[in-house]
Amino acid sequence: MEKPVDTEAAILESAVALLRERTFEDITYLDLAEAAAVSERTIYRRFPTRSHLLEALARWIESQQFPLPQIRTPEEFRAAVRERFRAYERAPGCAFVAARGASLSPTMESAPTPLARAVFAMLTTAAPTLNSRDTQRIAATAQYFASPIFWARMRTGFDMNADETFEAFDRAMSRAMAIVPQVSWAS
């Protein structure tokens, strides 16, 4: 007995394959349907607008192309961000789609991103006595500076490579974490 096909995953995998050849704007629903071996109508049923497709694709890329390890400490978070920036550099088309998708207003009801969950887990472990307002401020700072949006802006705006972008991330996080005296950020 054949295993059932996950149509949505097949569509998103096909979109990633097409991203290796062209930009998101240059991928039509017909191209995607042909690559995924489904009808164009199936694509429209799953993703009624390109915004729906972009948001789903960005989340899928984040989870499949740039997965995060379990993060409990600032050192683990720093190492994970450095590796993510290097992974973005190896797959810039996917990183730019992840950045664009993350900048959209949500079209679907969705859970917090893996990055958001990792940041809150790290802060809960590293600074359990931190008040909720400061936890949210640091989490928002960490999420932005560790995001594909930040990497894309540094790459396109300042021609920075992954390691240079990580240095900018590290400086920003050192300042943000300065309010938590019991946590050492920089190595």
31 lies in the same domain as 121? no
Contact 100, 54 (CB under 8 A): yes
pLDDT at 57 over 70: yes
90 lies in the same domain as 160? yes
* pTM more than 0.75: yes
136 lies in the same domain as 108? yes
Mean pLDDT of the chain: 88
**Torsion, CA 145, CA 151, CA 155, CA 156, rounded to 10:** -90
How confident is residue 126, by pLDDT bands cut at 50, 70 and 90?
confident
Spatial CA neighbour of 172 closest among 159, 153, 103, 156: 153
70 lies in the same domain as 27? no
Once rounded to an integer, what is the mean pLDDT over residues 155-183? 91
CATH of the domain at 14: 1.10.10.60
Our count of domains for the chain comes to 2
Q: Any idea what DSSP says for residue 5?
A: P
Residue 102, pLDDT score: 79
How confident is residue 3, by pLDDT bands cut at 50, 70 and 90?
low
pLDDT at 106 over 70: no
Q: What is the pLDDT of residues 79-89, one digit of tens each?
A: 999 999 999 99
pLDDT at 1 over 60: no
12 lies in the same domain as 66? no
68 lies in the same domain as 160? yes
pLDDT at 2 over 90: no
How confident is residue 186, by pLDDT bands cut at 50, 70 and 90?
low
CA 31 – CA 9 distance, rounded (Å): 16
User: In which domain, by residue range, is 107 found?
Assistant: 62-177
Total length of the chain: 187
Among the residue ranges 14-18, 109-113, 168-172, the one predicted with the least confidence is 109-113
